[in-house]
Amino acid sequence: MSILDDCRALSDSDLEQALAFLAEREKHGLTKLLAHLAEYDRRQLCVKLGHSSLYQYCLQVLHYDEGGAFRRIRAARVARRWPEVLGLLESGALHLTALVVLHPVLTDANRKELFTLAAGKTRRELDALVAARLPRPAQADFSRRLPVPGGWSVAVAAPVDAVEAVSSASSPLGPNVPSGGVPAPGSAVPVSRDNARPWEWQAVVHTALDRVRIGFDAGIGVLNLIDRARQVLRHKYPEGRLEDVVKEALEALLDRRDPQRRLTLKPSLAGSGTAPSAAAGPASSSSFVPRGWRAGRYIPAWVKRAVWERDEGRCAWRFADGTPCGSKDWIEYDHVRPFAKGGRSDTPRNIRLLCRVHNQLAAAAQGLSAKAPGGK
């Protein structure tokens, strides 16, 4: 019987308790590992035992991947200098990535402040925190064709994450990356496509308190659209900067497609909360068709506006303790009482906003296998 079979045999509550226990044990194991790695590094045992560096030792003996080795070595060196971070790691106040991101700006004077500010932060929030203290110089816009699959990609001034997979004898991060881990501004860093990870090119990197660098792969058609947009907007933006062109395009898109923005642009319509009067009178009371079906599956625009305003553009699903999901991603309109069971589409009381995950979960709970876009 495999471990997965053991997990499938657990009840929901037992599975949740076991997962929480294992996560706590993992944190404890991580702190012990970093403490041992820090002492191993202090004694320079890797050199004494014939390894070229601690990085190579982690790859060849401990069998970490390139990124995993880099993160643990950097975190261990932070812990060796400031041992209090081990307690913060074990308690969950900080995670491994926090130590890696904070490393370039940590000092004896600011470490307590930064450890407090970093508690509970995501990677992107940590990048913003560091960028506020260590701004990166602005870089020029660029676009280029990528080589054929299986070749090498070139990242200009790539973030650390984008070069962790590259190793060399001089530096564990690559030939163009100094031992501190940050590529020189404007330098070209080769990244093997075989080892590439999705976020290396779909990246948002904070470069200052109020500036980010955005990078992604795109089809040649997108480049053609950008070039044409530059031409159309040349009078308004003579420099033709990508930032201005993309911002203009996104503003136009959201003015047309964002329900929240439409509420701001059309407050009279959004706040009315009333249905337009029907040209035809109500359907005959003798009809056997459920009332909800007479209006059809289509949710009127005024109902969508009222529901969006009521639910604040967030998923209204509530967990067992009453906490709302609150996600703003993949938002869909959902019938509280399913349309297939007579639920009405022409009243906000029977419509709610759900993210796609909870919309599908609600459908499964109600035994519905098929749903139309925008609601059950």
**Tens digits of residue pLDDT in 276-333:** 554 444 444 444 445 545 557 789 989 999 999 999 888 999 988 888 898 888 889 9
Q: Residue 31 — pLDDT band, cuts 50, 70, 90? A: very high
Domain range annotation of the chain: 11-133, 152-253, 291-365
Structure tokens at 66: 């390139």
Q: Residue 235 — pLDDT band, cuts 50, 70, 90? A: confident
Q: DSSP class of residue 328?
A: -
Q: Which stretch, 16-20, 127-131, 225-229, has highest mean pLDDT? A: 16-20
Report the share of the chain in percent with pLDDT over 90: 32
Looking at residue 264, its pLDDT comes to 66
DSSP assignment of 24-66 equals HHHHHHHHHHHHHHHHHHHTTHHHHTT-S-HHHHHHHTS---H
Q: Is 252 a residue whose pLDDT tops 80?
A: yes
Question: 82-87 contacts: CB < 8 A, separation 24 or more?
Answer: 82/106, 82/111, 84/115, 85/115, 86/31, 86/34, 86/35, 87/31
Q: Which residues pair with 372 in a beta bridge?
A: 375
Distance of CA 43 to the CA centre of its chain: 39
**Tens digits of residue pLDDT in 75-109:** 999 999 999 999 999 999 999 999 999 999 999 99
- Going through the chain in order, the beta strands assigned E by DSSP cover 152-156, 188-192, 203-208, 211-215, 331-335, 351-355
Looking at residue 255, its pLDDT comes to 86
Distance of CA 350 to the CA centre of its chain: 32
Structure tokens at 164: 């962790």
Structure tokens at 332: 């869909």
**235-253 burial string, b = 16+ CB within 10 Å, else e?**
eebeeeeeebbeeeeeeee
* Residue 271 vs residue 291, higher pLDDT: 291
In this structure, the dihedral spanned by the alpha carbons of residues 304, 307, 308 and 313, taken in order and rounded to 10 degrees, is: -130
